[in-house]
Amino acid sequence: AKKCLQRRGEDRPTMKEMSIELEGLRKVTGISSSSQHEQDEKADHYSVPINSYEITPNSVSSCIMHPTYNPS
């Protein structure tokens, strides 16, 4: 996870590299990707209306979420 926080994009791992690393960790811990997916689906999530927030780029490395105006 620390590798993903590098400021320079060249220093961060690609999604494919992270996927390979996570799959290796799952094999070590004995969790298959299908059982992990089932556990993720059972997780408690808060429902948020899709159009309730708008993501606006603030800089190259971060975003700010602003509430959108919904007259209805």
Q: How many residues does the chain have?
A: 72
**Separation of alpha carbons 53 and 21, rounded Å:** 33
Count of C-beta atoms within a 10 Å radius of residue 14 = 9
- pTM for the model: 0.36
Q: What is the chain's pLDDT, residue by residue, as a tens digit (72 residues)?
A: 677 777 888 888 898 998 998 888 888 877 665 555 566 666 666 666 666 555 555 544 444 555 666 665
**Nearest-CA neighbor of 22 among 46, 44, 47, 40?**
40
Report yes or no on 49 lying in a domain. yes
Report yes or no on 34 lying in a domain. yes
Domain count, the chain: 1
Q: Which domain holds residue 24?
A: 2-67
| DSSP-H helix ranges across the chain | 15-29, 33-42
Report yes or no on 51 lying in a domain. yes
